Amino acid sequence: MTTDHPFLADCRARLAFDLLANTWNAVTLWALRHGPVRHGELRDRIGGISQKVLTETLRRLEFNGLVARTSHAGSPPRVDYELTDLGRTLLTPIETFGAWAFEHGDEVVAAQDRYTRDR
């Protein structure tokens, strides 16, 4: 990465931006911060996410090495999801973004309202 153009198409920083650009990625990672959880419980923790979207999100996070899926034999069989060590490294940036949103969210909403009103 050069200092002249830090966000070129092949820049590794874009990986992080792409991962956090999808709202459900960050929300799902945050919901997994306390340890392994089953799909249904995770969906309840998150709220407002369909089963299909949660499944797609978990697959995407697993593909990127951020979430691990563990199948347990038994009757009925059970599947748990948990953060990998790599996934845990994103908790601090997610918390920072959340704190920023808490502090500045009203300003953003006000700007959106002004923009809509003035159009």
Residues in Cβ contact with 61 at an 8 Å cutoff, skipping those fewer than 6 apart: 25, 28, 29, 67, 87
Distance CA 97, CA 36 (A): 24
Q: What is the pLDDT of residues 11-48, one digit of tens each?
A: 777 888 888 888 899 999 999 999 999 999 999 999 99
- In 89-102, which positions are buried (b, 16+ CB within 10 angstroms) versus exposed (e)? ebeeebeeeeeeee
Where are the alpha helices (H) located in the chain, listed in sequence order? 13-21, 23-31, 39-46, 51-63, 85-88, 91-117
Domains of the chain, start order? 13-117 (1.10.10.10)
**Residue 39: strand pairing partners:** none
Q: What is the pLDDT of residues 102-114, one digit of tens each?
A: 999 999 999 999 9
Q: What is the pLDDT of residues 60-74, one digit of tens each?
A: 999 999 999 999 998
